Structure 1
């Protein structure tokens, strides 16, 4: 069955929360998303339903059974298929007029320029443990004046940081340079989540295994990330409403019914962060 596609009709229910002029503007924007797994797939589909018309998406991985608890494209018929292709096709099923550039080798130093070419906004969806790739992408965004969003799935909530042109950079905030991997991962975790709302209900700390790149996750957190990140994307692209930029952040935890607005001047150099890092090293020491 062939169905005629009409962009204006397909996204008409957005109108009211955005104007027709704003919707038409979103149609012309290009968003880059690195990672099509836990949060990346949900980011792509949510932003597609918002009416964003162009994407650069990257991932080198394929879907497997271990992805089923949280990843939008993970299903039996997609096992073994490239994530970047599955998610592109799912997005095109929503809007067949999308312009999608696929980077099936992931984001690398060699293709970073192409990945960020013509991009209006970057939404971070790389695996938590992909520290070096993440540092490269955020540095590339800073050099090009591209706003960058990271919404991390933590427990049953989401921690948000925005890195905007002319404001504190990713590296200035997280202070990762020259640190061993375990310390970088810990600094990334604490920097994302200064409030650490999720630790209150972690029932099995042995599942947090940073050296072996494993940790627990929930589908609720990934979907919350997509909603929060898409809202920030709308505000940044349309220049509407207050946008928090690092060192300010937001952390909403649905399990604890809490919203924390965080502020860490100096990022991980802040004395409160040093204290938090010391406590985290003690609590997770056997898993680092």
Structure 2
């Protein structure tokens, strides 16, 4: 086994970035909350960009149900803490990485330490981790840390970026005056106002926000990691061109469609309020419809 050499390991990045920019990535710190479907592949994708410092948080272990989408899940990692497995995979890419691991996940008493010195926060939390997400986004807003969140919706990805100069998380999603189901719908619609994933659901009974369940795909998680990595790179290198909320983007690979939306007033925007009502109605209908084996069109 040869001696690890950072310059050689990430030399193929140069051309898309300059030598000096690669060194800036090496000195940058990215925090990732959650190491599941999107969080794990975020970590390894960003590591291969040559980012040299990470803060990661996760309290869960790998299970068989994770095999379809989580990059660290396999027979040999069943029952092992995700943070240990992903930390090992990270060090296999960059043995010199500066890694801070928070094995209790996102917690109020460690949030400041988790975000200490962080340049960009990447959201990899479970869709339904409302408390941890609100706490982390609020802390990032206080500290002026940009937040990149990409959701694997359908067979595509939806992207929203929060940061100084843009709309706040709370103003965009509006979680102050609703129960968990209301927050779920507002989060879903806020992430993907165009809702491109609605048109090809094969078995609608598998989707139930009230029961915290829905289908997932590794293809979508990989797409999330790609678009997230590009915006993280732009933010770290000051490249510009990152559209902050109330802008959102959704790319659906099944339909081969890209849609960008702008929702001033966030969840209060008339178009957004209408979509929230339509999604509630559709979810109610889908929950009552037996699977037909065919793709449902909107």
TM over 0.5: yes
CA RMSD of aligned residues (A): 1.1
Query: C-alpha separation between the residues in 1 aligned to 2:284 and 2:264?
Result: 26
Question: Residue in 2 aligned with 1:186?
Answer: 185
Q: 1:241 offset after TM fit, Å?
A: 3.8
Matched, 1:59 2:58: yes
Matched, 1:12 2:14: no
Query: C-alpha separation between the residues in 1 aligned to 2:165 and 2:261?
Result: 20
1:260 counterpart SS class: strand
TM-score of the two chains, using structure 2 as the length reference: 0.95
Query: C-alpha separation between the residues in 2 aligned to 1:241 and 1:175?
Result: 27
Structure 1 segment 69-148 matched on structure 2, within 5 A: 69-148=68-147
Report Cα offsets for 1:54-76 as digits up to 9, x if no partner.
00001110000000000010010
Question: Residue in 1 aligned with 2:275?
Answer: 276
What runs of 5+ residues in structure 1 fail to find an aligned partner? none
Query: C-alpha separation between the residues in 2 aligned to 1:215 and 1:108?
Result: 26
Question: Residue in 2 aligned with 1:208?
Answer: 207
TM-score of the two chains, using structure 1 as the length reference: 0.98
Query: C-alpha separation between the residues in 1 aligned to 2:216 and 2:2?
Result: 37
Query: C-alpha separation between the residues in 2 aligned to 1:249 and 1:260?
Result: 8
Query: C-alpha separation between the residues in 2 aligned to 1:256 and 1:182?
Result: 28
Q: 1:285 offset after TM fit, Å?
A: 2.0
Report Cα offsets for 1:244-268 as digits up to 9, x if no partner.
1000111000000100011111111
What runs of 5+ residues in structure 2 fail to find an aligned partner? 289-298
**Which structure 1 residue ranges, 4+ long, deviate > 3 Å from structure 2?**
none
Query: C-alpha separation between the residues in 2 aligned to 1:113 and 1:199?
Result: 38
2:8 counterpart SS class: helix
Query: C-alpha separation between the residues in 2 aligned to 1:94 and 1:195?
Result: 37
Question: Residue in 2 aligned with 1:243?
Answer: 242
Q: 1:187 offset after TM fit, Å?
A: 0.3
Structure 1 segment 31-70 matched on structure 2, within 5 A: 31-70=30-69
Query: C-alpha separation between the residues in 2 aligned to 1:86 and 1:228?
Result: 24
Matched, 1:198 2:197: yes
